[in-house]
């Protein structure tokens, strides 16, 4: 059970890392339309969205790290 949770947390963390990258490198007009913050023909870069997604990715990785530790007896 702990390994499956750790694996799931790593996968979700990688997804958040990708979302953070997309928000940091694309303007609001170039984001996929299903992303929050999409604005047609806008040059705004959603820096706060990128930071929050990065923090969530780090939190998922830390959770996975603690889940993969040794068992308590």
Q: Is residue 15 included in any domain, yes or no?
A: yes
* Cβ proximity of 16 and 42 under 8 Å: no
- Which pair of structure tokens corresponds to residue 23? 């928000």
pTM score = 0.86
The pLDDT confidence band at residue 73, using thresholds 50, 70 and 90, is low
Q: Is residue 29 included in any domain, yes or no?
A: yes
Interior CA angle at 59 toward 35 and 63, to 5°?
Answer: 130
Domain that includes residue 22, residue range? 2-67
Q: Tell me: the pLDDT tens digits for 54-68?
A: 999 999 999 999 998
Query: What is the number of structural domains in the chain?
Result: 1
């Amino acid at each position: 059970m702990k390994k499956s949770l750790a694996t799931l947390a790593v996968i979700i963390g990688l997804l958040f890392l990708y979302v953070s990258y997309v928000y940091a490198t694309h303007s609001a007009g170039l984001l996929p339309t299903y992303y929050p913050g999409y604005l047609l023909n806008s040059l705004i870069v959603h820096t706060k969205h990128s930071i929050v997604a990065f923090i969530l990715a780090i939190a998922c990785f830390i959770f996975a790290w603690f889940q993969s530790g040794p068992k308590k007896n």
